[in-house]
Amino acid sequence: MFGPPYFDAPFWAFLGLVIFFAVLVYMKVPRSITGSLDSRAVAIQAELETARKLRIEAEALLAEYKRKAATADSEARAIIEQATREAEALGREARQRLEEYVASRTRMAEAKIAQAEAQALQEVRALSADVAIAAAERILTAKTKGAPGEALVEKSIADVKARLH
């Protein structure tokens, strides 16, 4: 068309591309791109190193917390076992005190019953002695009349009272 066939559109496109790359090289764009990529690589490497250190710290903290959790768990078990032993001891002690209290109350009740029986027996004896004296007094009074009989009756009543009480 307008000139030799080797100056067609692909030729001009190629020439423009070569000039574009020449301008880029002249302006030191590849060096700045490389520098930018290198600085970005260094930043990424620093971030990776920081992440690695943080991971190591996190693993150490996790191990420490696991150890502390295991220690706390064993301490909790020991506390529970101690509390169980103390509760059992308190239960045994309470049962023993209760048994002692019941035994004491039983002894006291038995003593009161024995005392009441003895008192009732004493009252029955006193009452029967009074009844016997009254009966003897009537019988003797009826059989013995007069002054010598009365003296004998009084003496006998005094003797019976002395013996029965």
Task: Tell me what the pLDDT averaged over the chain comes to.
Answer: 86
Residue 146 pLDDT > 90: no
Do residues 156 and 139 make contact, with C-beta atoms less than 8 angstroms apart?
no
Report for 16-25, 75-84, 121-130, 149-158: range of highest mean pLDDT = 75-84
Whole-structure pTM value: 0.41
More confident of the two residues 156 and 50: 50
- The answer on pLDDT for 5 being more than 80 is no
- Cβ neighbours for 164, distance < 8 A, ≥ 6 positions apart: 125, 126, 129, 132, 133
CA-based end-to-end distance of the chain? 169
Q: Where are the domains of the chain?
A: 5-164
At residue 47, the pLDDT reads: 95
Say if residue 61's pLDDT is above 50: yes
Please state, for a pLDDT cut of 70, what percent of the chain lies above it. Answer: 90
Burial of 100 (0-12, 13-18, 19+ CB in 10 A): exposed
pLDDT score recorded for residue 6? 65
Q: If pLDDT is split at 50, 70 and 90, which confidence band does 158 have?
A: confident
Does residue 29 register a pLDDT over 90? no
Query: Higher pLDDT residue, 164 or 127?
Result: 127
| Range of weakest confidence among 31-45, 52-66, 140-154 | 140-154
